[in-house]
A and B are shown apart, each in its own frame.
Chain A
């Protein structure tokens, strides 16, 4: 298996532009998580999906952030409009929720810089 695949790996954009981050979870996993990591705040859960349904989006900073999971093999995190404080590394992770042995696997992350 190729693991969790994220794109783009790096994104540099200007304030006000729309940013779309993409994630392909591991085949067969039924839960997908979006995390944001910064030096100041560490690893923060933004939203997670179970069976393609958003379960908890309480970590989404504000209305500028939105996430979708149209099917079991694809998810997007969109920021519109982007701001410099959104600069961070965004991680996608997937797992099989109902299995006690279900490990969480992370992608390599998308490093976002908003100028």
Chain B
């Protein structure tokens, strides 16, 4: 059974800092890994998707890396801003084979607060 863990559970940083959010998973047979953002009372918005064959993806101030063999991914946020405050979740999609092909498993999320 796939288990996804996110560390830290909460993070508070001053504006302008660079920060790293961590995601680890137990089963390396994944199809892809996706990072999401959730604002309070809202749905989840996709930030970045990394295919299992890729090592990293970048979008603006965000950079996500993937080390499938060690079961780890990181989300790097450069020059953080108060508007980045939200909950960040990672999710892994199960790879081919087995009865749960395509199943996505989420971590519990990291609550990020960026204060001015």
* Interface residue ranges, A against B (CB under 8 Å): 31, 33, 35, 42-43, 45, 48, 50, 55-56, 91, 93, 95, 97, 100-109
Contact = CB atoms under 8 A, between A and B. Distances in A.
Contact of B102 (A42, A50, A91, A109): A50
A63 to B, nearest CB: 21
Contacts of A55: 99-103
A107 B43 contact: yes
Interface stretch (B14-22, B48-56, B58-66): B48-56
Interface string B26-53: 0000011010100000111110010111
A103 B89 contact: no
Given A103-B46, A106-B44, A48 B51 contact: no
Contacts of A108: 42-43
Contacts of A107: 43
Interface residues of B, number: 26
B103 A48 contact: yes
Interface of B: 31-32, 34, 36, 42-46, 49, 51-53, 89, 91, 93, 99-106, 108-109
A104 B91 contact: yes
Main secondary structure of the interface of A (DSSP, over half): strand
Given A42-B109, A104-B34, A104-B91, A33 B104 contact: yes
Question: What 3 A-B pairs are tightest by C-beta distance, nearest first?
Answer: A97-B102, A100-B51, A106-B44
Nearest to A43: B106
B46 A105 contact: yes
A33 B52 CA distance: 21
Contact of B43 (A31, A91, A97, A103): A91
A105 B47 CA distance: 11
Nearest to A92: B43
Contacts of A106: 36, 43-45
B100 to A, nearest CB: 5
A101 B53 CA distance: 11
B105 A45 contact: yes
A95 B102 CA distance: 9
Contacts of A93: 44
